[in-house]
C-alpha cells in the first residue's frame, strides 16, 4: 500500500499541474487563515503560504526547479499584475500633480534611509563588503535589487533573501507603526509602505484601500529607480567615511 502511494506521488510530482494547483490551494488557505485571525499582521498570506510551500517541498524532497516548472505560470503573471498597478494610480493623477514636491522629498529620504540603515547596521555587526552591497538595496523590488547588488560586488542570492525578508517584516510592522504615529491619510500610508516593503507591502495596501494601493505602487516603482541611481553615490559616501574599502 505504501509503495503504491509512493508511486502515485512520484507520478504526480512530475506533473506541472500538481504544483500550480497546490500553490493556489495553499494561498487560498493562507488568505482564509488571515481573515479568520482578524487580519493579524503575523499571518499575512505571503508569509504563511510561502512557509507552508517550503515545508511541503522539504518534506516531499521536491527540488525547487521541479516546483517552479509547475508554478511558472504564476511567475509569468507578475508582469501583467505589475503593469495593472498603474490603473489605480491613474485615478490619483490630479492629486499627485498637487503633491509632487512632498512625494519627491519623501522618496529621496526613504530611499537614502533604506540604503544607509542596512549598510551601517551590517557594517557595525562586522559584515563584509560583499554582505553590505547585498543588503543595501533591500527595499527595492527583487529584480532591481539583485542586479544592483551584483553590479556593486554583492551576492544576488543574498540580496533576494534580504528583499523577501524586508517585504514581509515591513508589511507586518507597517500598520501598528503608522497607527502609533497617527498617520491616517491612505496616500501617506501607502507611499510609506511602498518604499519600505515594495511589492509585498503594495499587495497588502491594495487590500486595505485603493488610494493606499495606488501610492504604494508609485513608491515601489520610483524607489526601484531611485535605489539604482543612488546606490553608487551612497557607496562613494561610505568610502569617504571609511565604512567600506
Give me the residue label for grid cell 519600505. 196
* pLDDT tens for the chain, residues 1 to 245: 444 445 444 555 556 677 888 888 998 998 898 888 887 777 888 888 888 988 888 888 888 787 877 777 776 776 677 677 777 777 777 888 888 898 889 999 999 999 888 888 888 888 888 888 888 888 888 888 888 888 888 888 888 888 888 888 888 888 888 889 898 888 889 999 989 888 888 888 887 888 888 888 888 888 888 898 888 888 777 777 766 66
Whole-structure pTM value: 0.76
Question: Of 39, 60, 84, which marks where a domain is finished?
Answer: 84
Same domain, 77 and 114: no
Helix (H, G, I), strand (E, B) or coil at 196: helix
Same domain, 16 and 77: yes
What is the domain extent for residue 234?
A: 86-241
Q: Which of 178, 184, 187 is nearest to 97 (CA)?
A: 187
Which three cell numbers mark 127? Answer: 559584515
Same domain, 168 and 55: no
The C-alpha atoms of residue 216 and residue 192 are separated, in whole angstroms, by: 7
Same domain, 106 and 125: yes
Same domain, 62 and 98: no
Same domain, 76 and 180: no
Question: Of 33, 55, 84, which marks where a domain is finished?
Answer: 84
Q: What distance lies between CA 185 and its chain's CA centroid?
A: 22
- CB 133 within 8 Å of CB 154: yes
- CB 94 within 8 Å of CB 213: no
The C-alpha atoms of residue 180 and residue 172 are separated, in whole angstroms, by: 14
Q: How many CB atoms lie within 10 A of CB 234?
A: 20
Question: Of 31, 58, 84, which marks where a domain is finished?
Answer: 84
Q: What is the pLDDT of residue 29?
A: 92
- Domain count across the chain: 2
Same domain, 7 and 103: no
Q: Which residues contact 161 (CB under 8 A, 6 or more apart)?
A: none
Same domain, 133 and 212: yes
The C-alpha atoms of residue 234 and residue 112 are separated, in whole angstroms, by: 8
- CB 216 within 8 Å of CB 206: yes
Same domain, 76 and 106: no
Same domain, 31 and 104: no
Q: How many CB atoms lie within 10 A of CB 42?
A: 9
Same domain, 66 and 91: no
Same domain, 117 and 227: yes
- CB 85 within 8 Å of CB 205: no
Amino acid at each position: 500500500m505504501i509503495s503504491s502511494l509512493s508511486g502515485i506521488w512520484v507520478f504526480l510530482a512530475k506533473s506541472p499541474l500538481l504544483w500550480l494547483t497546490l500553490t493556489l490551494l495553499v494561498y487560498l488557505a493562507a488568505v482564509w487563515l488571515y481573515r479568520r485571525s482578524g487580519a493579524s499582521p503575523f499571518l499575512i498570506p505571503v508569509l504563511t503560504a510561502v512557509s507552508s510551500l517550503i515545508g511541503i517541498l522539504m518534506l516531499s524532497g521536491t527540488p525547487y526547479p521541479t516546483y517552479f516548472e509547475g508554478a511558472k505560470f504564476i511567475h509569468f503573471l507578475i508582469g501583467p499584475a505589475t503593469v495593472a498597478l498603474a490603473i489605480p494610480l491613474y485615478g490619483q493623477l490630479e492629486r499627485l500633480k498637487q503633491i509632487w514636491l512632498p512625494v519627491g522629498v519623501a522618496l529621496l529620504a526613504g530611499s537614502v534611509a533604506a540604503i544607509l540603515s542596512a549598510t551601517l547596521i551590517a557594517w557595525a555587526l562586522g559584515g563584509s563588503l560583499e554582505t553590505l552591497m547585498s543588503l543595501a538595496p533591500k527595499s527595492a523590488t527583487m529584480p532591481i535589487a539583485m542586479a544592483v547588488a551584483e553590479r556593486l560586488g554583492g551576492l544576488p542570492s543574498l540580496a533576494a533573501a534580504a528583499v523577501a525578508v524586508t517585504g514581509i517584516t515591513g508589511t507586518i510592522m507597517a500598520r501598528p507603526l503608522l497607527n502609533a504615529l497617527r498617520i491616517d491619510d491612505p496616500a501617506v500610508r501607502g507611499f510609506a509602505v511602498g518604499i519600505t516593503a515594495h511589492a509585498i507591502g503594495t499587495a497588502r495596501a491594495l487590500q486595505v484601500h485603493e488610494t493606499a494601493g495606488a501610492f504604494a505602487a508609485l513608491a515601489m516603482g520610483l524607489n526601484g529607480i531611485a535605489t539604482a541611481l543612488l546606490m553608487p553615490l551612497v557607496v562613494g559616501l561610505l568610502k569617504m567615511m571609511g565604512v567600506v574599502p
